Amino acid sequence: MVQVHATKRRDYQRNEFDNENTAITQRDPYPTRLREPLEEPWLARQEEVIRGPAQGPLSQEQLESFERDGFLFIPDFIDSDEIADYTRELNALLERDDFRDKDFTITEPHSDEIRSIFAVHFLSEKFRRLTEDPRLVKSVEQLIGEDVYVHQARINYKPGFEGKGFDWHSDFETWHAEDGMPRMNAVSASLILTDNHEFNGPLMLVPGSHRVFVPCLGETPDDNHKASLKKQELGVPSREVMEKLVAEHGIQAPKGRAGGLLLFDCNTLHGSNANMSPDPRSNIFFVFNRRDNAMQAPFAASKHRPDFLAHTPDGQWRS
Ligand code: 6CS
Ligand code: FE
């Protein structure tokens, strides 16, 4: 158990909850959104990285690669007919004028180009069926264990020239702080529908960073998601910590043809550059969580984010 220095305990205990829904003395192994830094630059991850059955679509070598790096790129996961089919469905959602001014549709910071549409498995039967595809679900279950559900789904549509980047972050840090995800038992599956090359803002990841939790500074303001989904400025590691982790692990940006699948651990640090190329970078992004890791009270925010961002195991959602 990491000792939190007495001088910091006040801040650390700030994450304790004294409302009737949450144990008074809930201890949080992953304190974040602090008023001042802890002594340590990061804390140790407490959960195993791989928690599922060895048998399934992923080979032993692929499992070892995910365990080591915190991510795994699988080329040609779906074929060209499926790519065309899902691309048509993605564009059909992008063209829905009635979605444009809804809260689940996020536009770019300085234009009304659509950047993301959330809860797409509730908006599209085709995408809902994709979340049940055994090639995907069985792979995910080998990583986080069986009995999973979709915690979050989105289309990331990084338009040519306009698509802005995402600052370095751990998804788990946000999901823990603002949605109440207790443990690191979730994995993101990003199905790339356009070629991801070096110029259209491919995802960059710090291999091995999934093994440490980086507490971030800055208390969570109400409705933080309204800004963070456009440009995340809170819940991002300090440059000093990023320098240390990148010096130790480097940066990798899996690139590949449309149809590839990128699986990455909920806590692997990642970000992406702006898309300065003419080519869009579109992907479908499903986050699978273990049912026994369903959301609790937020660990570092005053209230939950809207339910298009964090679903419950059997939850329904209406646009
Ligand atoms: O806040 C979230 O839930 C989303 N934000 C980012 C930058 N990545 C993960 C997630 O989709
Ligand atoms: Fe992210």
* Among 179, 232, 295, residue to substitute to test ligand 1 (most atoms within 8 Å of Cβ): 232
- Which residue(s) pair with 152 in the sheet? 287
* Nearest-atom index, ligand 1, CA of 156: 11
What is the 8-class DSSP label of residue 95?
Answer: T
Output the average pLDDT for the chain: 90
**pTM recorded for the entire structure:** 0.90
Please name the residue whose Cα sits nearest to atom 6 of ligand 1: 171
| Pair 214, 241: CB distance under 8 Å | yes
Cβ pair 203, 73 in contact under 8 A = no
pLDDT band of residue 26 (cuts 50, 70, 90) is low
**Ligand 1 within 6 A of CB of 232:** yes
In terms of pLDDT, which residue wins out, 315 or 78? 78
Domains and CATH numbers, the chain: 30-48+59-293 (2.60.120.620)
pLDDT digits (tens, 9 = 90+) for 72-106: 999 999 999 999 999 999 999 999 999 999 999 99
Q: CA 124, CA 169: separation in Å to the nearest integer?
A: 28
Nearest ligand to the CA of 230 is 1
> What pLDDT does 285 receive?
96
HSE value, Cβ hemisphere, 13 Å, CA-based, for 23: 5
Residues with CB under 5 A from ligand 2 (ion): 171
What are 270-293's pLDDT values in tens digits? 999 999 999 989 999 999 999 999
Closest C-alpha residue for ligand 1 atom 9 = 171
7 CA → ligand 2 middle, Å = 32
Q: Is 126 helix (H, G, I), strand (E, B) or coil?
A: helix
pLDDT at 316: 87
* pLDDT, tens digit (0-9, with 9 covering 90-100), for 50-60: 999 999 999 99
- DSSP 8-state assignment for residue 308: T
Does the pLDDT of residue 17 top 50, yes or no? Answer: no
- Backbone φ, ψ for residue 64 (5° rounding): -65, -35
Is the pLDDT at 1 greater than 90, yes or no? no
185 pocket-lining for ligand 1 (C-beta < 6 Å): no
Question: Cα separation of 265 and 69, whole Å?
Answer: 9
